[in-house]
Amino acid sequence: MPETAEEVYARVVAAVGEDGRLPLPEHAAWDTFPFDGDIRTRILQPPLEAEEPRNGENDQPCWRCEHELENVIWRNEDWLVASTPRPTGLPVVLALESRAHMDFLDMDDVLASEFGRITNNLHRILHYLPNVGRVHISKWGDGGAHLHTWFMARPARMPQLRGTFASLWDDILPPVPEDIWRSDLHEVARKLATHDGVALV
């Protein structure tokens, strides 16, 4: 039998130090870790009775469905690619989203195949931007129930920004100049539209 949330929490509580906190992980010493100095882990809270509904789940309104084309740079019949509202610290951060309200569990084989094809095209296009060293693809689903996957382009030749901390560095670094950011968005949308769909920037 898998562990229940209560069993996980009990195991964690048994491992905490005298201050009630878990020790820092090994990667706090990695050169990619964005923080330095006196930091400590937060005290883990006990599990809830049930998962809280996400944006777009149960009776919660869905942000994407209410703002269908906001920040969208490309779309086809079933999918869209949206940018952040303004430049961030990484060269480009995009989200591939379904146009219909669904989550990953709702995709049929046809949509899953399209998702894979567009993911591959988008990854390739971002990878070949001259200012990009690597592209990270991430799926988180705790904030919203509308199907979305993040594409984060890391600056070239800046290995300290590599790996799983890229999303944190994105919030820490000063924003990319807007003219460069808009030029990259235009290039990505234009190249996606050579496969199918339409560029909207």
Q: What is the pLDDT of residues 132-149, one digit of tens each?
A: 999 999 999 899 999 999
Q: What would the pLDDT profile of 165-177 be if each residue is shown by its tens digit? A: 999 999 999 999 9
Q: What would the pLDDT profile of 75-132 be if each residue is shown by its tens digit? A: 999 999 999 999 999 999 999 999 999 999 999 999 999 999 999 999 999 999 999 9
Tell me: pLDDT of 17 over 80: no
How do strand 132-138 and strand 92-98 relate by DSSP bridges?
A: unpaired
pLDDT computed for residue 19 by the predictor: 84
Helices (H), ranges, the chain: 5-15, 63-66, 109-127, 166-172, 178-193
pLDDT-based confidence at residue 13 (cuts at 50, 70, 90): confident
* Alpha carbon 180 to chain centroid, angstroms: 21
Nearest to 100 by CA among 139, 148, 58, 137: 148
Give how far Cα 70 sits from Cα of 37, 86, 137, 145, 170, Å: 39, 12, 21, 17, 21
Nearest to 199 by CA among 103, 122, 84, 110: 122
* Alpha carbon 39 to chain centroid, angstroms: 25
* Alpha carbon 27 to chain centroid, angstroms: 20
Of residues 13 and 187, which shows the higher confidence score? 187
Token pair of 76 as six digits: 């086809």
pTM: predicted TM-score of the whole model, two decimal places: 0.92
CB within 8 Å of 100: residues ≥ 6 apart: 78
Give how far Cα 170 sits from Cα of 27, 28, 152, 174, Å: 18, 18, 9, 8
